[in-house]
Amino acid sequence: MHNKLVHLVAFGLLVIGGLNWLLVGAFDINLVTMLLGEGAATNVVYI
């Protein structure tokens, strides 16, 4: 049960990260910065 939850969370982060980098590369739009602003929260997402 625990491994399935970890897998789903990891997959969700993978999809969100992939879509963000697609937007950055294709359209120069950073979704993480748009949602969280310039600050510590954005840095935590990228770590």
Predicted local distance difference test score (pLDDT) of residue 4: 95
- Number of folded domains that form the chain: 1
- What is the extent of the structural domain holding 7? 2-46
Tell me the CB-side half-sphere exposure of residue 25, using CA atoms within 13 A: 6
Q: How do the residues of the chain divide into helix, strand and coil, expressed in percent and rounded to 5?
A: 85, 0, 15
In whole angstroms, what separates CA 36 from the centre of its chain?
11
Nearest 5°: the CA angle 17, 27, 34 is: 60
Rounded to a whole number, what is the distance in angstroms from the first to the last CA of the chain?
27
pLDDT, tens digit only, all 47 positions of the chain: 789 999 998 998 889 889 999 999 999 999 889 988 888 988 887 87
Predicted local distance difference test score (pLDDT) of residue 8: 94
